[in-house]
Structure 1
Amino acid sequence: MSELKNRYLSLDVFRGLDVALMIVVNSPGNGATTFAPLNHASWNGFTLTDLVFPTFLFVVGNSMSFSMKKYESMGSGAVFKKVFKRTAIIFLLGFLMYWFPFFDDGHLKPFAETRIFGVLQRIALCYMFASIILHFVKSKTAIWLSLIFLVAYHLILIGFGDLTLTGNAVLKLDEWLIGPKHMYHGEGMAFDPEGLLSTLPAIVNVIIGFLAGKFIQKNGQNFETIAKLMMVGFALVFAGLAWDLLLPINKKLWTSSFVLLTCGIDLVAIATLIYFLDMKKTKGWSYFFEVFGKNTLFIYLLSELFVITLFSIDANGSSLYRWIAENIFISWSGGYMGSLLFALWIMLTCWAVGYFMDKKGIYVKV
């Protein structure tokens, strides 16, 4: 969802930074020996890794502030058609990614056991709802709707369950709607951190990203813009920490306090990048991340399929993923550093593909 023309360098670099970090945290050589900031909080709480996905949604909103300009001259039917088509493609890509490599021991993997919701699926749904809202209502109304979404979600969480892994409303809806076999099992049980209900507050991350992008375009790259982004960012961080007293910051439930905290951090981060990249022109280091930022969705998919493929290939009774991590990285550098170096290798391999694509002028859009 990238518009390569008329876009600020800071936005591309921000996207790229996030994708690079996303690949690193998703590809540890050994999950048991991973540095703490590169792990998600076990339940309540917050780590650097917890910031990655909401930032991805925030930068989706940034991109929409450019791409949706052309919707203004389109009829409602054409807008719905374009939005629904893009939503369907991204959702399907996410579903196929979880189904990949499609076969197991020579047999087609059963659809009944394939995860339905996930990262790309959440991006698709958030994009769809945010696009419709932002096309048909004014910015002030979108802000009020965002607040309503966050308050409503808070009330739903406390009204239809508790805030534990086994008793929350997100789990209950997904179990009723799609069943445990179609859910993520990474917590040792069926629970999807990208479930349907918790997509509601995640829409707000996209809306705030859109409004930030629109504000930057309208007001330009200057100290006043940076100051206002910083002030709103710190205000949201404070509001998120205050809301944490009533509803804990929790990435896996995507609580309302988590939304405010992450949006606040993202606003401060984008303001900082505008200062250094677009104003001070200190961009000798930025091209590395631009490569990721110009083919964001493709490189993310590539990284996931690369990891899945390595896990699928047998190597002396283990997966090729484990073999490479243990024998090439961890064996000489230790558990924690080796795990990180392996993740960096995955990231740099994907970067090399992105670099080749950029040099050839290949930009994959959905």
Structure 2
Amino acid sequence: MRPADSAFSTRLVSLDVFRGLTVMAMVVVNNPGDWGHIYPPFEHAEWNGCTPTDLVFPFFLFIVGVSLAYALAGAKSSHAPLRPVLGRVARRAAILFLLGVLTSLYPHFNFGTVRIMGVLQRIALVYLGCSIIYLKTSWQTQAITLLAVLIGYAVLMQLVPVPGIGPANLEPATNFGAWLDRTLLTEPHLWAQSRTWDPEGILGTLPALGTGLLGALAGQWLRWSGPAPVGKTAGLAIAAAVATAGGLLWATWFPLNKALWTSSYVLFTGGLALGLLAALYWLYDVRVYRRSLAPALAFGINAIAVFFFSAILSRTFALLCLPGPAGQPVGLKEWLYGWGIAPFFSDPRAASLAGAVVCLLIWLGILSLLRRQNWVWKV
């Protein structure tokens, strides 16, 4: 735990708000009262397509890119040796990756079937890769790298035959990425719901790197001393329109797909992230609007803590069994929902959403207390 930076003048307030809103959305979609009754916008697309829920993870990776463009700018411009900086970056990435593995291990710690990849693991790899590219290259090279990654990934997924299976395809268990995960990670260490492929697998991390690079480019644009704030906002908005349109056009032959993290999905979700950042930047950093900041900032400055501890607590509550409304034993969270929320709603989907909102409010109380104490958890 480290003291939080409370000086708005030294931070990009819009980025803190963006991060906070994204984490709040994550809490809501990850914690429904009843997984069997969810409104469609709060579910992931079954395969191809993109729902509002499918925007949460790419938005966070985009934010990682913007953040590192601010956090590492001093080291890049100082022309000092980069080895110590890269060491700190590698250390942080390793801690994030290990935290992700720990969430998979807890509470049974079965190393024989632990999922190696995951959300925190992908964040760690994207942070590491984007940081190295940002520190070592110009923004022009980063833009070229982004395009090369997206085009190369599309070619690999759509044209290269899958060993032992046949022609290239985009089906869950038979695409090139799924084959690579089974080959390198082996089936016991893949996503537990499938064991034949992993939505945060190895190959999909490559285009996810593109999402982070798009954020890094946006961060450098905002840091550039050339354009006035109005020009910076307009530049983000234009880039948002181009990227979103490009993603939708590309989706006609390489569909939007979060699990595969398709190139069209990178451009489409990145364009929406650019548009939201433009709006927030104009509101909070240009117009200096300061009302209703507290909830988003509370979540924004402790984003990793929310993700990690919400996963740990959810698994812990599942171990504490109590008799449910129908008499069968259920975990503590299900027990609280079954007795304290569900009976007050006639629509089970509304009750499920209410359960997610209650979880959000509990986290808001905890994080607001931490923020008042001026502390933030960093890795």
TM-score interval, normalised by the smaller of the two chains: over 0.9
The answer for the alignment partner of 1:180 in structure 2 is: 187
The 2-side partners of 1:64 and 1:52 are apart by 19
Asked whether the equivalents of residues 2 and 294 of structure 1 are also in contact (C-alpha less than 8 Å), the reply is no
Could you give the per-residue CA deviations for residues 239-276 of structure 1, whole angstroms, max 9, x where no partner exists?
A: 00010011000001000000000110000001111122
- Tell me the residue number matched to 1:264: 271
For the aligned residues, what is the CA RMSD?
1.8
2:31 to 27, 42, 45: 27
Secondary structure, in 3 states, of the residue corresponding to 2:192?
A: coil
Work out the CA distance in 2 between the residues paired with 1:83 and 1:168. Answer: 32
1:2–1:67 CA contact under 8 A, matched in 2: no
What is the CA distance between 1:221 and its match in structure 2? 6.6
1:106 corresponding residue in structure 2: none
Q: How far 1:71 sits from its partner (Å)?
A: 2.3
Q: Which has the higher helix share?
A: 1
Report whether the alignment pairs 1:192 with 2:198: yes
Question: Which letter does structure 1 place at the counterpart of 2:358?
Answer: W
Q: Which amino acid aligns with 2:239?
A: V
Partner deviation per Cα, 1:171-210 (whole Å, 9 max, x = no partner): 1111001111111133x45321100100000011111111
Quick one: which amino acid aligns to residue 203 of structure 2?
Answer: L
CA deviations over 1:219-249 (Å, ceiling 9, x no partner) = 5772221111101101000000010011000
Of residues 65, 85, 89, the one that matches 1:83 is: 89
2:153 counterpart letter in structure 1? Y
| Equivalence map 1:323-342=2 (5 Å) | 323-333=335-345, 334-342=347-355
Cα offsets for 1:78-136 (capped at 9, x unmatched): 133112111110100110011112x3xxxxx3201111100000000001111111100
Q: Write the letter of the residue equivalent to 1:182.
A: H
* Correspondence for 2:139: 139
Q: Secondary structure at the match of 1:148?
A: helix
The question of whether the paired residues in 2 share the 8 Å contact of 1:183 and 1:192 is answered with yes
CA contact (8 A) 2:3 2:374 kept: no
Identity %: 33
2:100 corresponds, among 88, 91, 94, to 94
Give the match for residue 304 of structure 2.
297
Structure 2: 5+ residue stretches without partners: 163-167, 324-328
1:239-258 counterparts in 2 under 5 A? 239-258=246-265
More deviation, 325-334/30-39: 325-334
SS in 2 for 1:318: strand
**Contact residue 221 and residue 274 of structure 1 kept, 8 A:** no
TM normalised by structure 2 equals 0.91
Q: Tell me, which stretches of 5 or more residues in structure 1 are unaligned?
A: 104-108
Contact 2:247 2:266 in 1 (8 A): yes
Instruction: Name whichever of 4-13 and 139-148 sits farther off.
Output: 4-13
Does structure 1 residue 313 correspond to structure 2 residue 320? yes
Deviates more, 1:270-279 or 1:230-239: 270-279
Q: How far is the alpha carbon of 1:312 from its aligned partner?
A: 2.2
Q: CA deviation at 1:337?
A: 1.0
Question: 5 Å matches for 1:151-300?
Answer: 151-158=151-158, 159=160, 160=162, 161-186=168-193, 188-219=194-225, 222-300=229-307
Q: What SS does structure 1 have at the residue aligned with 2:146?
A: helix
Amino acid at match of 2:332: L
How many equivalent residue pairs?
Answer: 359
Q: Deviations over 1:283-333 (max 9, x none)?
A: 312211011111111122122222222222212211112222222212221
Give the whole-Å Cα distance in 2 for the aligned partners of 1:218 and 1:310: 47
Structure 1 pair 54–288 and aligned structure 2 pair: CA distance change class (3 A) = same
* Partners of 2:65 and 2:281 in 1: CA distance: 17
Worse overlay, 17-26 or 334-343: 334-343
More displaced 10-residue stretch of structure 1: 269-278 or 240-249: 269-278
The separation in 2 between residues aligned to 1:239 and 1:26, in whole angstroms, is 30
2:378 aligned residue? 365
1:144-169 deviations in whole A, cap 9, x for unaligned? 01111111111111213310112111
Report the counterpart of residue 124 of structure 1 in structure 2. 124
> Is the contact made by 2:4 and 2:376 (CA closer than 8 Å) also made in structure 1?
no
